[in-house]
Every structure is written in C-alpha cells, then in structure tokens.
Copies of this chain bind each other. A is one copy, B any other.
Amino acid sequence: MTTDEREIAELTRLVREFATERDWQQFHDPKSVILALVGEVGELAELFQWVRADDAIATFAVPERKARAGEEMADVLIYLVCLADVLGVDLGAAARAKLAASHVRFAADEVRGRAPDKP
C-alpha cells in the first residue's frame, strides 16, 4: 500500500527498485552519482546553449522540444533522488527547509526586484 506515500518518496522507491533489479547500486557511490548528475545537467545545457535567451520559452513550447527538455530534467531529478537515497537525505524536506530559510534570509521588502548575487 502506497496510498499515503508522498511523490518524492515514490520516486525514490522507483529509482531504487530500478537499480536493484539491475544490480546497479554497486555503481552508486556519491561521487559517481554526482558525476552522472553533471552529465545530465550537461545534456540539459546543450539543449538551450544556442537558443536566444528571449526565444527560449517559445522555442521549448513546441511539444517535441518540451518533451525533450522534460526528459533531460527527469534525468537530473532521477540522479538527484538517487543521491539523496544513497546519502539518506530527505530531499523534499530539505527543499522545504531551504525555502523557509530563504524567506528569512531574503526579506521580500529588502530584495524586491534585485537579484541577490548579481555582480
């Protein structure tokens, strides 16, 4: 029964089952999984590299391109979920905690309209 299973826990279970069935957990030490994540981020970057910044949303609104971008993003998520599982990190909880901390760190009234890291 997975009625109450949350979505990232479900993905974690699916990713773990996929690896276990193939005896691939042996490859999933953290540094290797991060390199795999980097590989997928690279494929995502390649999709967008030569598209003009102003055209990127329109270009990827075309269904087959959106699907392609979705696949690369899926790969990034899958390796991120895999890494979290290997390290015992609760990824969803970590993201919610980070967002809560960012609400405090970047007070809306102080930073409105200005990117904090802009040179």
Contacts and interface: CB of A to CB of B under 8 A. Distances in A.
A51 to B, nearest CB: 7
A92 to B, nearest CB: 5
Given A11-B92, A46-B36, A49-B117, A80 B70 contact: no
A37 B41 contact: yes
A45 B50 contact: no
A119 B65 contact: yes
B45 A99 contact: no
B119 A97 contact: no
Interface in A61-111: 61, 65-66, 68-71, 73-78, 80-81, 83-84, 86-92, 94-99, 102-103, 106, 108, 111
Most buried by B among A24, A50, A51: A50
Interface of A: 6-8, 11, 14-15, 18, 21-24, 26-27, 29-32, 34-54, 56-57, 59-61, 65-66, 68-71, 73-78, 80-81, 83-84, 86-92, 94-99, 102-103, 106, 108, 111-113, 115, 117-119
- In the A-B complex, the 9 residue pairs with the smallest Cβ-Cβ separation, listed nearest first, are A42-B42, A50-B115, A39-B46, A7-B7, A70-B94, A74-B98, A53-B53, A74-B94, A35-B49
